[in-house]
Amino acid sequence: MEDDQDQVIYSNADGDYNRSLNMNARITNGHSSHPYTSYGSTGPEQFSCYYCERNLSGSRYILKDEHPYCIKCYEDRFANTCEECRRKIGTDSKDLSYKDRHWHEKCFFCSMCKTPLIDKPFGCKNEQLYCGECYNQQFASRCDKCNQIFKPGTKKLEYRGQQFHEHCFTCVACSQPIGTKSFIPKDQKSYCVPCYEENFATKCTRCLKVIAQGGVTYKNQPWHRECFTCTHCKNSLAGQRFTSRDDHPYCADCFARLFAKKCFACSKPITGVGGTRYISFEDRHWHNDCFVCQRCRSSLVGRGFLTDGPEILCPDCGKRDQYNTTENSGFSGGQRSIVNNYPKTN
């Protein structure tokens, strides 16, 4: 099973516009620190505008940096310019400021729907102001499945450069939301773990359950290590030598007891473990190493031999003991066989 499950990132999608919202646009008259003042005829005779030197006696003025200015000079020199209408924001108007930009109160509105934005959340994009709804419609990120925006307070799920509502990120097989659960990608599609296992995971030939890791392959079929056992004694064969019969695996001990030929010389089973060769003659069988002359103990493999009942002798010993048997150095292959086709041990 694939284990490299791709990472999904969750975030609180408070609405993309919320990141640029400003609920606290500064609203002032622009001149609160410079109060209007009138100076009567009882004051000094010379009290004039710091800039134009107009006599301010009996007139309104604004004090800035401890210097008095007539209203006109103050507005010309110090009043901010409205971003919308490009006119000066006079001393009799409220000055709304946001990021060093300024507006008249009546000019502070959404650039799309013209809704006033005073005391409302707003967003700014490309130096244009937008109410929350218009900002979302124009710029908020959208779910790559349903194409709807991420509303404030909803979770946003990010996967491979795409964004989804939590309920939109679903298993392609069962259509159930994956949410925070594990999932497995395949062919650019996402599957919950149960659906992936049902459709794609390798399953054990014996128990039909998913092989999560490891496992054994026998005759191109997968097995759990604990399920791959000797047909007779049920001991695990994983990592052990075994022999098969009729497509069923057996450990070496069980195969020897149940099916192996017995050596005529030593009476031990001829198991074939390691690809052992053995000799067959008539109804008798020998291990390769046990097929020797019963007199001189020399190997008879590949040589002629003489027989007298159960005994086998090399020609020299047979002649020396004057056996009245026929030398068998030229007998046909049907009488004696040197076999190397014992069932292969895995």
47-56, 76-85, 205-214, 229-238: the lowest-pLDDT one: 205-214
Mean predicted confidence (pLDDT) in 204-227: 81
- For 234: left if phi > 0, alpha if psi spans -120 to 50, otherwise beta; the answer is left
Taking 50 as the threshold, does the pLDDT of residue 3 lie above it? Answer: no
The kind and range of the H/E element at 72 are: helix 71-78
Number of H helices, E strands in the chain: 5, 24
21-30, 259-268, 286-295: the lowest-pLDDT one: 21-30
pLDDT tens digit string along 127-137?
888 888 888 88
pLDDT value, residue 321:
64
Question: What is the sign, positive or negative, of the torsion defined by CA atoms of 126, 127, 128, 131?
Answer: positive
The CA distances from residue 144 to 16, 164, 329, in Å, are 15, 6, 86
- The residues pairing with 184 across neighbouring beta strands, listed in sequence order, are 191
pLDDT value, residue 272:
60
With bands split at pLDDT 50, 70 and 90, how would you rate the model's confidence at 346?
low
Contact 186, 193 (CB under 8 A): no
Q: What percent of the chain has pLDDT over 90?
A: 1
Query: What does the DSSP 8-state code read for residue 107?
Result: G
* DSSP per position, 166-192: TTT-B-TTT--B-TTS-EEEETTEEEE
Mean predicted confidence (pLDDT) in 117-138: 84
Residue 125 burial by Cβ neighbours in a 10 Å radius (0-12, 13-18, 19+): middle
Contact 279, 288 (CB under 8 A): yes
Residue type, 125: K
pLDDT value, residue 11:
45
Contact 278, 290 (CB under 8 A): no
At 290, list the tokens: 């046990």
Domain architecture of the chain: domains with CATH: 18-38+48-139 (2.10.110.10), 216-257 (2.10.110.10), 271-334 (2.10.110.10)
Considering only residues 47 and 332, tell me which one the structure prediction assigns the higher pLDDT.
Answer: 47
pLDDT value, residue 40:
44
pLDDT tens digit string along 9-55?
544 444 444 434 444 455 444 443 334 444 444 444 568 888 888 88
pLDDT value, residue 66:
84
Rounded Cα distance, 337 and 108, in Å: 107
Alpha helices, DSSP H, located in the chain:
71-78, 132-139, 193-199, 252-258, 315-320
Considering only residues 309 and 326, tell me which one the structure prediction assigns the higher pLDDT.
Answer: 309
Give φ, ψ of 68 to 5 degrees.
Answer: -85, 140
Cβ partners under 8 Å of residue 14, min gap 6: 152, 153
Query: What does the DSSP 8-state code read for residue 225?
Result: T
With bands split at pLDDT 50, 70 and 90, how would you rate the model's confidence at 142?
confident
Contact 15, 152 (CB under 8 A): yes
Strands across the sheet containing 336-339? 284-287, 278-281, 336-339
- The residues pairing with 157 across neighbouring beta strands, listed in sequence order, are 10, 164
pLDDT value, residue 46:
62
pLDDT value, residue 339:
41
Residue type, 209: K
Taking 60 as the threshold, does the pLDDT of residue 281 lie above it? Answer: yes
Question: What is the sign, positive or negative, of the torsion defined by CA atoms of 78, 83, 85, 86?
Answer: positive
Q: What percent of the chain has pLDDT over 70?
A: 77
pLDDT value, residue 242:
81
pLDDT tens digit string along 66-116?
888 888 888 888 888 898 898 888 888 888 888 888 988 889 999 889 888
Taking 80 as the threshold, does the pLDDT of residue 332 lie above it? Answer: no
Taking 70 as the threshold, does the pLDDT of residue 276 lie above it? Answer: no
Mean predicted confidence (pLDDT) in 251-271: 79
Residue 32 burial by Cβ neighbours in a 10 Å radius (0-12, 13-18, 19+): exposed
At 254, list the tokens: 């069980």
pLDDT value, residue 24:
44
Mean predicted confidence (pLDDT) in 246-268: 81
With bands split at pLDDT 50, 70 and 90, how would you rate the model's confidence at 199?
confident
Contact 305, 281 (CB under 8 A): no
Contact 10, 157 (CB under 8 A): yes
Strands across the sheet containing 26-28? 26-28, 95-98, 101-104
Rounded Cα distance, 220 and 211, in Å: 15
Mean predicted confidence (pLDDT) in 319-344: 44
Give φ, ψ of 321 to 5 degrees.
Answer: -90, 5
